[in-house]
């Protein structure tokens, strides 16, 4: 079983050569000093850490899994030590601001790191995966006092964080959340008593860090129903000394279901355990190294983060970054599957291939059979183009944060709004389906555990579901971000990415396709979908095809960018590029045809 190996030189080719990142950094005062040498140093070291420390824990993490016992979760062997090494080396704080204890490096570096981590060990990576979002949330919305207590701990990763949104009856529709927050009487800190049950909480309980910071969506008394009635709260696993203890005298802490007697509020040295209980963890298809927890809040003393009723707004701060992160999981997992399949196809021999090199009575390598070559080349094309789209999104996030000109920040905001749902949805879909195709390269050997490819298929499946299901991403793109402005922002984006391309044959072909799609949007989709007599459900039937068509266009654009970059003449890039046009791009025509047929009624 070959373990995943990061390929930093290939990642850097995309970031430095294809996307010309240094020119972008030069326009940002926060990153103006960041040079290519430092990037090489950081990405090489990240690759070493991931390859030597994180990847080897993947198999055991899957087999042993996280274990729950009476409110405590033990992580798989090696996970805690690896996490301690991770935060002490400063990896979680890579892209956090220096004034918050971070290293202030570009988001693109973090993107490369998390792609590698997810590929190496998706289960382990779930733990730090939510940190940056929590950091942004606290940074932008918490009170100065709360920031003083929690921001640096979360920025550096000394404490891990959770996002507690989902409830048993409230998944995609968070407006149905029932967890309530009632002001605590006479609390000098102005806190609230938080009560309710959250499910599917990644890392709700574990032994990786000494404290856990929960960010929880809940409803204040008399708040309106629906999403506008939600507020965001922070409650830690332990209140630290001087960190605002729970109001009132210590009470008996309710036992977790399945546990024995109620236990006292725990005091560990100067710390006090909060009334947050992990009732159990889910048994699930994959991702066994990540505890997916049912969390019960029993009048837990919590601080409000941001304004009352603006809880979802506070979470939007981190939405694009979190969805980019999940898109990167897709790219990483697909790369891990491809690496295994590619290596296996270079060892295993079966039958003679048409045009193969085997003599009569001998067998060719699996990679020489066209049916297998096609699988490998198509996945490689998705991974390479995915990196262009994902790293570009990371660059735009930095521009959005740091650029001095409002007009440039607006362009970055448009890119993030329109491209992020496509990245999250299309590349997580492909991670699962592409990993399954890579499993096929192994024949029956892929279905058994030995080679580790079946774990990737199981682990990858969830990325299509969490952080907003892929259907919700498609609806977001078409119904919230395209139809309301008559397609203006998307049309402009298509024009702008076309203008980035040169005049070679591939670039002209892509420009032509961008123009064709623009015309389809203007002349067919928008007039039909927004007509007064159009059925209300019409855009909902189209949304998925619409998003997939965007994914194809973005990939075509990415290949035109790669194709015009010196160095892309190498066979490795040419093969992947040809794989895109032959085996991936034809889906564009299919999606257009499906939309046309839906519009025709």
Ligand X SMILES: Cc1cc2nc3c(=O)[nH]c(=O)nc-3n(C[C@H](O)[C@H](O)[C@H](O)COP(=O)(O)OP(=O)(O)OC[C@H]3O[C@@H](n4cnc5c(N)ncnc54)[C@H](O)[C@@H]3O)c2cc1C
Q: Which residue is nearest to ligand X (CB)?
A: 171
Nearer to ligand X, 109 or 164 (CB): 164
How far is the C-alpha of 570 from the C-alpha of 578, rounded, in Å? 12
10, 467, 569, 589: which one is catalytic? 467
How far is the C-alpha of 404 from the C-alpha of 29, rounded, in Å? 8
DSSP characters over 235-250: EESEEPTTS-PPSSS-
Cα angle at 308 between 304 and 313, to 5 degrees? 95
Nearer to ligand X, 163 or 521 (CB): 163
Shortest separation between residue 203's beta carbon and ligand X, angstroms: 7
In the block, tokens 């990896």 appear at 91
Nearer to ligand X, 20 or 480 (CB): 480
How far is the C-alpha of 430 from the C-alpha of 438, rounded, in Å? 11
Shortest separation between residue 520's beta carbon and ligand X, angstroms: 23
CB atoms within 10 A of CB 170: 18
Residues with Cβ within 8 Å of residue 552, at least 6 apart in sequence:
584, 585, 587, 588, 591
Residue pair 547/478 in contact by the 8 Å Cβ criterion: yes
Shortest separation between residue 471's beta carbon and ligand X, angstroms: 4
Nearer to ligand X, 273 or 461 (CB): 461
Nearer to ligand X, 475 or 493 (CB): 475
Residue pair 459/286 in contact by the 8 Å Cβ criterion: yes
Which spans of this chain sit near ligand X (rule: CB under 6 A)?
Answer: 163-166, 171-172, 200-202, 287, 292, 462, 465-466, 469, 471-472, 475
DSSP characters over 520-577: HIIIIIHHHHTSTTS-TTHHHHHHHHHHHHHHHHHHHHHHHHHHTSTTTTSHHHHHHH
Shortest separation between residue 66's beta carbon and ligand X, angstroms: 11
Shortest separation between residue 469's beta carbon and ligand X, angstroms: 3
Nearer to ligand X, 200 or 303 (CB): 200
Shortest separation between residue 492's beta carbon and ligand X, angstroms: 27
Residue pair 432/463 in contact by the 8 Å Cβ criterion: yes
Shortest separation between residue 174's beta carbon and ligand X, angstroms: 8
DSSP characters over 314-380: HHHHHHHHHHHHHHHHHHHHHHHHHHHHHHHHTT-B-SPPTT--PPTT---BGGGSHHHHHHHHHHH
Cα–Cα distances (Å) from 234 to 84, 122, 304, 535, in that order, read: 24, 26, 6, 43
Pairs from 26-31 (Cβ < 8 Å, separation ≥ 24): 27/399, 27/403, 27/408, 28/398, 28/399, 28/402, 28/403, 29/402, 29/404, 30/104, 30/398, 30/401, 30/402, 31/105, 31/106, 31/398, 31/402
Shortest separation between residue 461's beta carbon and ligand X, angstroms: 9
Nearer to ligand X, 462 or 493 (CB): 462
Q: Among this protein's residues, is 45 annotated catalytic? A: no
Nearer to ligand X, 172 or 515 (CB): 172
Active site residues: 467
């Amino acid at each position: 079983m070959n373990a995943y190996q990061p390929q930093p030189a290939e990642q850097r080719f995309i970031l430095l050569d294809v996307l010309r990142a240094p020119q972008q950094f030069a326009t940002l005062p926060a990153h103006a000093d960041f040079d290519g040498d430092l990037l090489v140093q950081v990405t090489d070291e990240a690759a070493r850490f991931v390859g030597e420390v994180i990847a080897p824990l993947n198999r055991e993490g899957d087999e042993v899994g996280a274990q729950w016992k009476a409110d405590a979760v033990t992580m798989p062997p090696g996970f805690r030590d690896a996490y301690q090494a991770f935060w002490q080396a400063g990896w979680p704080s890579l892209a956090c601001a220096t004034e918050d204890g971070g290293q202030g490096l570009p988001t693109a570096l973090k993107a490369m790191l998390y792609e590698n981590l997810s590929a190496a060990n998706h289960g382990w990576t779930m733990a730090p995966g939510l940190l940056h979002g929590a950091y942004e949330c606290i940074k932008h919305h918490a009170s100065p006092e709360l920031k003083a207590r929690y921001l640096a701990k979360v920025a550096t990763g000394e404490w891990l964080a959770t996002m507690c949104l989902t409830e048993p009856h409230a998944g995609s529709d968070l407006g149905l959340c029932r967890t309530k927050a009632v002001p605590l009487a006479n609390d000098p800190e102005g806190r609230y008593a938080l009560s309710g049950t959250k499910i599917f909480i990644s890392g709700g309980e574990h032994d990786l860090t000494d404290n856990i910071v929960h960010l929880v969506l809940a409803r204040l008394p008399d708040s309106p129903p629906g999403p506008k009635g939600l507020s965001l709260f922070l409650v830690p696993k332990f209140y630290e000394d001087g960190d605002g203890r729970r109001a009132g005298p210590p009470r008996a802490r309710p036992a977790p279901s399945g546990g024995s007697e109620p236990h006292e509020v725990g005091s560990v040295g100067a710390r006090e355990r909060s009334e947050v209980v992990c009732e159990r963890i889910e048994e699930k298809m994959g991702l066994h190294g990540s505890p997916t927890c049912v969390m019960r809040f029993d009048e837990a003393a919590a601080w409000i983060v941001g304004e009352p009723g603006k809880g979802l707004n506070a979470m939007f701060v981190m939405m694009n970054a979190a969805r980019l992160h999940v898109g990167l999981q897709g790219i990483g997992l697909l790369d891990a599957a491809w690496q295994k399949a590619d290596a296996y196809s270079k060892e295993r021999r079966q039958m003679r291939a048409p045009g193969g090199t085997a003599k009569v009575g001998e067998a060719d390598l699996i990679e020489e059979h066209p049916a297998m070559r096609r699988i490998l080349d198509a996945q490689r094309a998705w991974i390479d183009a995915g990196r262009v789209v994902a790293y570009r999104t990371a660059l735009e996030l930095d521009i959005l944060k740091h650029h001095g000109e409002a007009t440039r920040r607006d362009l970055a905001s448009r890119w993030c709004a329109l491209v992020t749902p496509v990245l999250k949805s299309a590349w997580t879909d492909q991670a699962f389906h592409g990993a399954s195709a890579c499993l096929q390269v192994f024949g029956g050997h892929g279905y058994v555990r030995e080679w580790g490819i079946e774990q990737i298929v199981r682990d990858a499946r969830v990325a299509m579901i969490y952080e907003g299901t892929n259907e919700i991403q498609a609806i977001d793109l078409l119904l919230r971000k395209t139809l309301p402005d008559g397609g203006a922002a998307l049309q402009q984006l298509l024009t702008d990415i076309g203008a980035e391309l040169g005049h070679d044959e591939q670039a002209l072909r892509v420009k032509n396709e961008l123009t064709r799609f623009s015309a389809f949007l203007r002349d067919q989709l928008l007039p039909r979908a927004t007509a007064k007599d159009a059925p209300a459900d019409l855009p909902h039937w189209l949304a998925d095809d619409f998003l997939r068509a965007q994914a194809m266009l973005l990939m075509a654009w990415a290949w035109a960018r790669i194709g015009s970059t010196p160095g892309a003449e190498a066979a490795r890039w040419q093969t992947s590029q040809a794989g895109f046009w032959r085996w991936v791009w034809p889906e564009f025509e299919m999606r257009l045809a499906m939309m046309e047929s839906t519009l025709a009624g």
